[in-house]
Chain A
Amino acid sequence: MGDFILLAISAILVNNILLIQYLGNCPFLGTSKKMDTAVGMAMAVVFVLALAGIVTWIFEAVFLKPLGLEYIRTIVFIVVIAALVQFVEIFLKKNIPALYAGLGIFLPLITTNCAVMGVCLINIKEEYNFLEMLVSSIAYPAGFGLALILFAGLRERIIIGRVPGPLQDVSIALVTAGFMSLSFLGFKGMI
Chain B
Amino acid sequence: MAKTIVQEFTKGLWEEIPPFRLVLGLCPVLAVTKTVANGVGMGVAATFVLVCSNILVSALRNIIPSQVRVPCFIIIIATFVVVVELVMQAFTYPLFLQLGIFIPLIVVNCIILGRAEAFASKNGVVASTADGLGIGVGFTIALAVLASLREVFGAGTLSVPFSDTVIQVFGPSFQPFTFMVEAPGAFVCLGLVLAIMNLVGK
Contact = CB atoms under 8 A, between A and B. Distances in A.
Interface of A: 19-26, 29, 71-75, 77-79, 82, 111-114, 117-118, 121-122, 125, 165-168, 170-175, 177-179, 181-182, 184-185
Interface string B180-202: 00111111111110111011001
A contacts with B: majority SS = helix
A74 B187 contact: no
A172 B191 contact: yes
Contacts of B50: none
A19 B23 CA distance: 17
Interface stretch (B26-34, B118-126, B147-155): B26-34
22 contacts: A22-B30, A23-B31, A26-B110, A72-B82, A75-B75, A75-B79, A77-B104, A78-B108, A82-B70, A82-B71, A113-B108, A114-B105, A117-B108, A165-B198, A167-B195, A171-B198, A172-B191, A178-B185, A179-B188, A181-B183, A181-B184, A185-B184
Contact of A174 (B179, B191, B199): B191
B105 A175 contact: no
Interface of B: 23-27, 30-31, 70-71, 74-75, 78-79, 81-82, 85-86, 101, 104-105, 107-110, 113, 179, 182-192, 194-196, 198-199, 202
Contact of A78 (B107, B182, B183, B188): B107
B104 A121 contact: yes
Contacts of B86: 71
A73 B86 CA distance: 12
Nearest to B30: A22
B182 A185 contact: yes
Most buried by B among A78, A125, A174: A174
A25 B189 CA distance: 15
A121 B182 CA distance: 22
Contacts of B101: 118, 121-122, 125
B81 A74 contact: yes
A114 B74 CA distance: 13
Given A74-B81, A177-B187, 12 more contacts: A25-B30, A26-B27, A29-B23, A71-B82, A71-B86, A73-B104, A74-B85, A77-B104, A78-B107, A122-B101, A168-B198, A178-B191
B191 A22 contact: no
A26 B107 contact: no
B107 A173 contact: no
A174 B101 CA distance: 23
B191 A74 contact: no
B164 to A, nearest CB: 26
A178 B193 CA distance: 13
A73 to B, nearest CB: 7
Given A26-B26, A82-B71, A174 B104 contact: no
Nearest to A179: B184
A48 to B, nearest CB: 13
Contacts of A113: 108
Given A25-B30, A74-B81, A117 B192 contact: no
A2 B199 CA distance: 52
A185 B186 CA distance: 13
Nearest to B78: A75
Contacts of A77: 104
